[in-house]
């Protein structure tokens, strides 16, 4: 009798938690739909093409990759996309049991007017410091010691990193909420663990646009943009 009572109680509690989680997700999705409509953006419940567009974190890990709650349109005249990205990883214990973990990220990207060399900036932490100590993914040191302590910078071309991360841009990044971002091909994208929320997406995209605005004109010119402007094409993933 006692066993069945506990079993039923577990079912009730588990069912209640699942319902509350479902209810919270429906409310969040409704807010995202309303936000998209208010800004004349498109909304797609799911569009997995975005799972394969970029290389490196947080992509190309695990399986069952999904891009959900996809917002796309123009932000201050720049093409952008934002979505919830998830993937699964699996592990086994010593008894042969298998467990699955779902990883959640909020991803946003803004299209650039031309292709640029790869540059990644991420908040510094204990694991990244240990990686530097053993020579994994070397961290590029810049002129600002405060910035070097706060962020990990990786690029194929250290000069490009130094050109983009001007003293003014580094100071700006030190005063903003910290998250990971990367220039990859003709996009600048950012990501954080968790689910996308309108206010947080707004803050991250605004910071990325400030990074783009701070790129010196000679960098654009050296990479094929003759007029030095940052006016992009009509859609993220479109053609120039």
Instruction: Please tell me which residue, 198 or 95, carries the higher pLDDT value.
Output: 198
pLDDT of residue 239: 33
pLDDT one-digit tens code per residue, 177-220: 999 999 999 999 999 999 999 889 999 999 999 999 999 999 99
The confidence score (pLDDT) of residue 8 equals 57
CB atoms within 10 A of CB 50: 25
pLDDT at 66 (0 to 100): 97
Report the residue count for the chain: 240
174 is a domain residue: yes
Interval 32-90: pLDDT, tens: 999 899 989 999 999 999 999 999 999 999 999 999 999 999 988 889 999 999 999 99
Confidence (pLDDT) at 135: 41
pLDDT at 129 (0 to 100): 47
pLDDT at 99: 87
Q: Using alpha carbons only, what angle is made at residue 20 by residues 15 and 26, rounded to the nearest 5 degrees?
A: 125
Return the pLDDT at 223.
94
Greater confidence, 127 or 168?
168
Strand partners, 100: 90
> What is the share, in percent, of the chain residues with pLDDT greater than 70?
77
Asked if residue 86 lies in contact with residue 105, where contact means CB atoms within 8 angstroms, the answer is yes
Residue 41 and residue 147: Cα distance in Å, rounded? Answer: 35
Average pLDDT over residues 146-163: 95
Per-residue pLDDT, 168: 97
The token pair at 2 is: 């006692």
Per-residue model confidence (pLDDT) at position 82: 97
| Beta bridge mates, 154 | 120
Query: In Å, how far are 27, 33, 164 from 40, measured between CA atoms?
Result: 20, 10, 31
- Exposed, middle or buried: residue 165 (CB in 10 Å: 0-12, 13-18, 19+)? buried
Q: Flag whether pLDDT at 102 surpasses 50.
A: yes
- What pLDDT is attached to residue 199? 87
| 21 plus 130 within the same structural domain | no
Mean pLDDT over the full length of the chain: 84
- Mean pLDDT, residues 160-189 taken together: 97
Can you tell me the distance from the alpha carbon of 109 to that of 182, in angstroms, rounded to the nearest whole number? 9
Rounded mean pLDDT of 227-234? 44
Residues 61 and 20 in one domain: no
Residues 174, 74 share a domain: yes
**CA gap 160, 157 in Å, rounded:** 5
Q: Is the pLDDT of residue 229 over 60?
A: no
Q: Which tokens hold the place of 134?
A: 């053993």
Do 171 and 191 share a structural domain? yes
Confidence (pLDDT) at 27: 80
Establish how many alpha carbons lie within 13 A of residue 9's alpha carbon, considering only the half-sphere containing its beta carbon: 6
Is residue 238 situated within a structural domain? no
Of the segments 17-21, 33-37, 229-233, which one has the largest average pLDDT value? 33-37
Q: Are residues 54 and 121 in the same domain?
A: yes
Do 191 and 142 reside in the same domain of the chain? yes
Q: Assess whether 2 and 66 both reside in one domain.
A: no
Where are any strands of DSSP class E within the chain?
42-46, 63-75, 78-92, 98-123, 151-155, 180-193
Mark whether 169 and 208 lie in a shared domain.
Answer: yes
- Tell how far CA 207 is from the center of its chain: 12
Domain count, the chain: 2
Q: What residue numbers bound the domain in which 62 lies?
A: 41-90+99-222
Q: Kindly state whether residues 21 and 55 are assigned to the same domain.
A: no
77 and 180 share a domain?
A: yes
């Amino acid at each position: 009798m006692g066993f069945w009572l506990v079993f039923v109680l577990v079912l009730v509690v588990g069912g209640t938690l699942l319902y509350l989680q479902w209810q919270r997700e429906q409310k969040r999705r409704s807010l995202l739909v309303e936000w998209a409509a208010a800004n004349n953006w498109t909304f797609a419940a799911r569009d997995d093409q975005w799972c394969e567009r970029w290389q490196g974190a947080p992509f190309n890990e695990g399986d069952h990759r999904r891009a959900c709650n996809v917002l796309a349109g123009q932000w201050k005249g720049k093409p952008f996309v934002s979505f919830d990205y998830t993937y699964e990883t699996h592990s086994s214990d010593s008894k042969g049991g298998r467990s699955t973990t779902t990883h959640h990220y909020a991803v946003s990207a803004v299209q650039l007017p031309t292709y640029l060399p790869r540059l990644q900036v991420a908040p510094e932490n204990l694991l990244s410091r240990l990686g530097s100590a053993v020579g994994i993914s070397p961290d590029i040191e810049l002129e600002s010691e405060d910035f070097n302590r706060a962020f990990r910078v990786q690029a194929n071309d250290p000069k490009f990193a130094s050109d983009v991360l001007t003293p003014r841009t580094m100071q700006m990044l030190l005063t903003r909420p910290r998250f990971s971002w990367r220039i990859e091909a003709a996009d600048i994208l950012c990501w954080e663990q968790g689910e996308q929320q309108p206010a947080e997406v707004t803050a991250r995209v605004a910071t990325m646009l400030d990074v783009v605005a701070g790129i010196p004109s000679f960098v654009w010119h050296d990479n094929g943009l003759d007029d030095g402007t940052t006016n992009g094409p009509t859609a993220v993933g479109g053609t120039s």
